[in-house]
Amino acid sequence: MLIGLAIYLAGRKYLPPDSPVVEKNAGALKPRMTKRERTAILLLLLLLPVLTIAVIGNQQIFNAYLVWAQDRANLVFFGYQLPTTWLITLDSILSVSCLAGAVVFWRLWSKKYPEPAEITKISIGSLIAVTGFLSLAAAAAIAAATGAKVPIGWLITFHLLNSIGFANVFPVSLALYARVAPAALSATIIGIYYLAFFAANNLVGWIGGFLEKMPATNFWLLHSALCGTAGIIFFVAGRFFGHLLAPGDQESPANA
């Protein structure tokens, strides 16, 4: 990053000057926000803690999940003992694949049915991710009852279901905040959006400590409950306040 910054600063004098249009827009007065825009921003801020709750489970993959998998899971795959850290690689592969799959799915869906609003997609994704944590809870319960380690198939199932769910949470929520934010506050709203992940990552460490104090089954049920609660709140918010975030309700520049 430092080398790239140095190259940019050294070669900045060779860059073309800003066009008159850019300079004119930079000096123009920024339009005042409408009442609807202020209300939409307030709603986005109120939904930030809900988004934090929704992503705690996914962020736990990089914390207590690895500790639990190393001690309680059988990571033998086709006769080969996998390092615990490879679970992160597996999650990355499935996450990218499911992101592409989600785009294709919703495009095909829109050809026959109305495409849901972003907040509805976030709700659906959160509820799908619940099934992933339920699979971990079921695996932990079976392992506790039999005294055996959790087969790796349960972990693969978890990563797949969680990746499908959060393919409809992460990019969709970012797109929602970027679209609804007024142009004058776009960068600020995006920065505030990432505070949800900052808060989630801080809570992950505290919640991860519960793994030593409660059975693993209850630990993963706790994460499914958090994700499910967020999904329900998103759904209710969409039903009652979704019109404030709908693009069709925003005034176009031509009609302003």
- Give tens-digit pLDDT for 21-40: 555 555 555 667 788 888 99
pLDDT at 18: 60
Beta-carbon neighbour count of residue 215 at 10 Å? 13
DSSP state of 169: T
As a whole number of angstroms, the distance between CA 170 and CA 1 comes to 25
pLDDT score for 32: 78
What pLDDT is recorded for position 30?
A: 63
- 85/90 Cα distance (integer angstroms): 9
Per-residue model confidence (pLDDT) at position 82: 87
CATH 1.20.1250.20 fits 33-248, yes or no: yes
Name the token pair of 138: 């079921």
**What confidence score (pLDDT) does residue 219 get?**
97
Share of the chain above pLDDT 90, in %: 73
DSSP character string of 35-72: HHHHHHHHHHHHHHHHHHHHHHHHHGGGTHHHHHHHHH
Question: What per-residue confidence (pLDDT) applies to 256?
Answer: 37
Whether the per-residue pLDDT at 249 is higher than 60: the answer is: no
The pLDDT mean for the chain works out to 89
Cα 115 to Cα 219: distance, rounded to the nearest angstrom: 35
CB 57 within 8 A of CB 226: yes
Identity of the amino acid at 93: I
Over residues 121-153, the pLDDT tens digits come to 999 999 999 999 999 999 999 999 999 999 999
Q: List the domain boundaries for the chain.
A: 33-248
* Paired strand residues for 151: 74
Instruction: Decide: 130 and 227 in contact? Cβ < 8 Å.
Output: yes
Q: How confident is the model at residue 9 (pLDDT cuts 50, 70, 90)?
A: confident
Q: What pLDDT sits at residue 17? A: 74
How does pLDDT run across 195-239, given as a tens digit for each residue? 999 999 999 999 999 999 999 999 999 999 999 999 999 999 999
For the ranges 79-93, 106-120, 193-207, 240-254, the lowest mean pLDDT is seen at: 240-254
- pLDDT higher than threshold 70 for residue 77: yes
**For residues 157-169, average pLDDT:** 97
For residue 251, the model assigns a pLDDT of 44
Question: What Rg do the C-alpha atoms of the chain give, in angstroms?
Answer: 22
